[in-house]
């Protein structure tokens, strides 16, 4: 009789762990969707950075959307970690009972890692493009300032307000 009681307890524990593993799998699916959205937004940023005219407002909007998604991903990660910590010991005690589900989780995690690497590569490309845009913007500002100074000096010379000596020297001739 004690044996059937143990078997019932083991069944309940297996079911409970199985439910937690399903919850973890659902969390990974949600994370995958969020990562896909982040990738799409990152590609949209890449498109904006490739255009001649930089649309700062749209770019900032994409950054804000990505930030919100990253917060959601972090929450999913925290939930996944908490759930795993609840069942870790039970899984270690009887790994064969959960082998299939664990393999599915591991495959999902590999896929998510690959997606993260793809996002990271796209982000690096974007960073390079962004740095070039900023550099070009600084060059435009520097060029504008130089041209503005040159024009100011020109008008000052024409009005004789920079150095009156040349005006007088010319008059003496």
- Quote the pLDDT of residue 134: 81
pTM: 0.72
- Going by C-alpha positions, the residue among 66, 76, 54, 78 that lies closest to residue 123 is 66
- Quote the pLDDT of residue 170: 47
Region 15-42: what's the mean pLDDT? 95
Domain hosting 19: range is: 2-118
Residue 17 domain-assigned?
yes
Region 103-114: what's the mean pLDDT? 96
Please tell me the total count of domains within the chain.
1
- Quote the pLDDT of residue 14: 72
Question: Rounded to whole angstroms, how far apart are CA atoms 99 and 111?
Answer: 18
Residue 167 pLDDT exceeds 90: no
Residue 77 domain-assigned?
yes
Residue 101 domain-assigned?
yes
Residue 149 domain-assigned?
no
Contact between 24 and 105 (Cβ < 8 Å): yes
pLDDT band at 78 (very low <50, low <70, confident <90, very high): very high
Mean residue pLDDT across the chain:
81
Residue 155 domain-assigned?
no
Region 40-53: what's the mean pLDDT? 93
Residue 1 pLDDT exceeds 60: no
Lowest model confidence (mean pLDDT) among 29-43, 69-83, 85-99: 85-99
Q: How far is CA 120 from CA 8, 51, 98, 108, 113, in A?
A: 48, 21, 32, 18, 10
- Quote the pLDDT of residue 139: 55
Residue 157 domain-assigned?
no
Residue 30 domain-assigned?
yes
Residue 145 domain-assigned?
no
pLDDT band at 147 (very low <50, low <70, confident <90, very high): low
Region 30-45: what's the mean pLDDT? 97
């Amino acid at each position: 009789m004690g044996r059937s009681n143990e078997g019932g307890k083991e069944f309940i524990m297996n079911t409970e762990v199985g439910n937690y593993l399903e919850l973890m799998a659902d969390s990974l699916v949600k994370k995958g969707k969020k990562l896909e959205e982040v990738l799409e937004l990152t590609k949209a940023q890449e498109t904006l950075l490739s255009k001649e005219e930089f649309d700062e407002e749209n770019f900032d909007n994409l950054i804000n959307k990505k930030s919100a998604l990253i917060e959601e991903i972090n929450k999913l990660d925290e939930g996944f970690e908490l759930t795993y910590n609840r069942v870790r010991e039970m899984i270690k005690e009887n790994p064969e009972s959960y082998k299939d589900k664990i393999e599915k989780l591991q495959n999902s995690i590999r896929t998510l890692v690959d997606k993260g690497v793809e996002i990271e590569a796209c982000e690096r490309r974007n960073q390079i493009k962004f740095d070039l845009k900023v550099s070009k913007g600084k060059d435009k500002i520097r060029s504008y300032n130089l041209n503005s100074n040159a024009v100011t000096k020109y008008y000052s010379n024409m009005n004789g307000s920079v150095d009156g000596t040349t005006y007088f020297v010319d008059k003496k001739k």
